[in-house]
Amino acid sequence: MIFGADYYPEHWPEERWREDAALMKKIGINTIRIGEFGWSVIERKEGEIDFSLYDRAISLFAEYGIQTIMGTPTAAPPAWLCQKYPDIYMMNRHGDMRGYGSRRHYCYNHKGYRKETERVVKMVARHYSHNDNVIAWQVDNELGCEDDVLCYCDRCRKAFTDWLIRKYGTLERVNEAWGTVFWSQTYTEWEQIIVPKDTVVDGYTGNGHNPGLMQDFKRFSSDSMYRYAKLQTEILREESNKIITHNMVSEQSDNYRLAELFDTIGYDAYPYSEWDHNSPGRIGFLYDLSRGYADKPLWILEQQSGPCGWNVLGETPKSGQLKLWSQQAASRGIEALIYFRWRTCPFGAEQYWYGILDHDGVPGKRYQEIGQAISSIQENEEYLRLPEKKKVLLVYDYDNKFCHDEQPHVRGFVYKEEVVRYYEALRRIHVPVRVGSLAENLDAYELVILPFISMIGKEDAERISRYVKNGGNIILTPFSGQRRINNQITTEILPGVFRNMSGVTIASFHAMEREIIPYEEIGNMQLWREELKLDNAESFRKNWISPEGGPLVSENRYGNGRVFYISCCMEAYDRMLQEICRETGTASGYGDIPECVECIEKSNCLILMNHSGEKQQVLLKGYRDIRNEKSSIIMEEYGFAVAVSS
């Protein structure tokens, strides 16, 4: 397995490198990642090419058995290049240029930058393609991380127009798909097509743009990022047969499609940062979402190794949490775990982004803890690398995310966070779950949860219908079947394409921006609820009653399968999902495991992780601790255990 650290030889005196290599080797680090921000290192001025610094670093670390992942240096165009192309920058929706001074300061559709990208990637690939100490390429760095997918410049307007021509062929079809007759927005020439910059209603209610235009613009923008990444992967494949990866963190792109370009799926994991304080369940969701992008190896290209932030620090991890987060990542069967970063940088925007070593370079508590994490993973690798059992598929769909992000129905509704609520509930009741797309093979799962699938195409709807008829089980939720694929709201009776299989009609709905309705048995209802009229369906639990007197959850037998409709948003779905999982045979039977103990079921073992700061007792059925063969396990705070089937 790859254990690594992100290293920047250009940040440190060369006489320090050997000491760093020795310290890495001591705790089991066998790989460094370099170069993703190093354009000015290899080309300080245009045409002055010098790889010698990286060459020496790669060679020195190889002496210690440490290999290298080489980044293409396109994430930070150097000053001379931005001077050469003063229009390289993205434009925000207000019409302001997003200029030089940080990173990711380029437009994906800038022809000059695409040409420069082609040149530098080819140059790097040719230089290192035959260097056996370089084992893989990382394309760019965190595409889309800085809200840099949506660009509103004139280049993108023209590229968007060309994209629409390819998709629709005629303006008549664009007008029909978007419903431009509304507000007299009918287009009569391609040159009239706009990108959705601010309008006169901006600040009053969103930006007032046509929802069909917004959806297609987001699809186009995602495609622009994809095509930029593809430009690089095609060059790397022409020049080399090394592994190609990328750390995929974008919230504005279709990452299932992006994953097609790479040999391994990369992810950057920061449970606690300036911007996030993730629950254990949300951390698990992010790992599993990344794993669900494609059936390819998962590499963690940046794993948190200390407190981090740019201007303020996120919460400092408690003693043991860095180790547990590493084990949590490893429980997903990853093939690479690379920590960001090796040593905290004393200059630049990430002075507060702490690495394995502090600014002074002296090994301390984090160095020791990460060494312990690596040792633990190595000791248990035969179990950690086993495939995880998956009884339930939780669908996460980017088309629906784009739609809900723009029109969330009610203040407070955030598509991703509401899907995470379902995931967290499944993990708390210890049900094996995979996060994946609508394109998954549904027949591989006993239960498929389709949260907030408002927009769905005919083909996907038919696949879901066949799955249920053949004996599958699905859960539908509010907003199901509400929209056509062009983002127009359907004129069918809701839930639209799901009406027949669900056996219900949506009689009415209630936006609950300020209303919370407590239920003693199942928790708090919030944000949104729908009134279900039972056609062929039945109430799933007679005592789960809506404020209007109807069922909160319905159940309909459809062919050989069943369709459950959860009619409301909940603060937590534990009890609802526990009951449905019992009915569908997907509930866990591992014994008595506290909610705070994450349980990952492998083919013949359980991986147990205590995410609380207190000791926890686990009473297992059919499993025993590999350390003492007992079924009763006392787990230390932030502790880890493996239990095998008995």
pLDDT value at residue 202: 79
Predicted model pTM: 0.97
Q: Which of 384, 404, 424 is the last residue of a domain?
A: 384
Quote the mean pLDDT of the chain.
97
Whether 238 is in a domain gets the answer no
Whether 107 is in a domain gets the answer no
520 and 606 in a single domain? The answer is no
Whether 222 is in a domain gets the answer no
- ∠ CA 400-405-408 to the nearest 5 degrees? 95
452 and 572 in a single domain? The answer is yes
Helix spans in 129-261 (H): 154-168, 171-178, 211-239, 255-258
Report the distance separating Cα 265 and Cα 282, nearest Å.
19
Q: What is the largest CA-CA distance in the chain?
A: 77
pLDDT value at residue 512: 96
Q: Where are the beta strands (DSSP E) in 57-144?
A: 67-71, 90-91, 97-98, 134-138
Rounded to the nearest 10 degrees, the angle between the axes of helix 415-428 and helix 280-291 is 100
CATH of the domain at 596: 2.60.40.1180
What's the pLDDT band for 205 if we cut at 50, 70, 90? low
183 and 306 in a single domain? The answer is no
- β-sheet bridge partners, residue 529: 510, 568
Report the distance separating Cα 286 and Cα 280, nearest Å.
10
279 and 376 in a single domain? The answer is yes
190 and 275 in a single domain? The answer is no
188 and 251 in a single domain? The answer is no
pLDDT, tens digit, 9 for 90 and up, residues 260-296: 999 999 999 999 999 999 999 999 999 999 999 999 9
Whether 473 is in a domain gets the answer yes
**pLDDT of 552 over the 90 cut:** yes
CA distances from 133 to 141, 262, 396, 455, 476 (A): 21, 20, 38, 47, 50
Buried b (16+ CB within 10 A) or exposed e, 90-121: bbbbeeeebebeebbbbbbbbeebbebbeebb
212 and 198 in a single domain? The answer is yes
Rounded to the nearest 10 degrees, the angle between the axes of helix 280-291 and helix 321-330 is 30
Range of the domain at 265: 2-77+130-149+244-384
Q: Count the domains in the chain.
A: 4
> Could you give phi then psi for residue 55, rounded to 5 degrees?
-60, -45
**What percent of the chain has pLDDT above 70?**
99
> Contact at 8 Å (CB) between 317 and 328?
no
Quote the tokens at residue 405: 């992000």
* Residue in 462, 499, 209, 196 with CA at minimum distance from that of residue 490: 499
What's the pLDDT band for 201 if we cut at 50, 70, 90? confident
CATH of the domain at 284: 3.20.20.80
Whether 102 is in a domain gets the answer no
pLDDT value at residue 637: 98
CATH of the domain at 454: 3.40.50.880
**What percent of the chain has pLDDT above 90?**
98
Average pLDDT over residues 473-491: 98
Burial grade of 516 (CB within 10 A; 0-12, 13-18, 19 or more) = exposed
Whether 629 is in a domain gets the answer yes
pLDDT value at residue 125: 99
Q: Which of 551, 566, 584 is the last residue of a domain?
A: 584
Whether 108 is in a domain gets the answer no
List the 640-645 sheet strands across, edge first. 597-601, 605-610, 640-645, 623-625
543 and 458 in a single domain? The answer is yes
What's the pLDDT band for 200 if we cut at 50, 70, 90? confident
pLDDT value at residue 204: 65
Q: Where are the beta strands (DSSP E) in 53-187?
A: 67-71, 90-91, 97-98, 134-138
Burial grade of 122 (CB within 10 A; 0-12, 13-18, 19 or more) = middle
Report the distance separating Cα 523 and Cα 62, nearest Å.
56
Q: Which of 340, 356, 384 is the last residue of a domain?
A: 384
Whether 92 is in a domain gets the answer no
**pLDDT of 44 over the 70 cut:** yes
CA distances from 322 to 290, 306, 365, 513, 646 (A): 20, 7, 11, 37, 31
What's the pLDDT band for 642 if we cut at 50, 70, 90? very high
What's the pLDDT band for 194 if we cut at 50, 70, 90? very high
> Contact at 8 Å (CB) between 606 and 573?
no
411 and 377 in a single domain? The answer is no
548 and 635 in a single domain? The answer is no
pLDDT value at residue 160: 99
448 and 544 in a single domain? The answer is yes
358 and 410 in a single domain? The answer is no
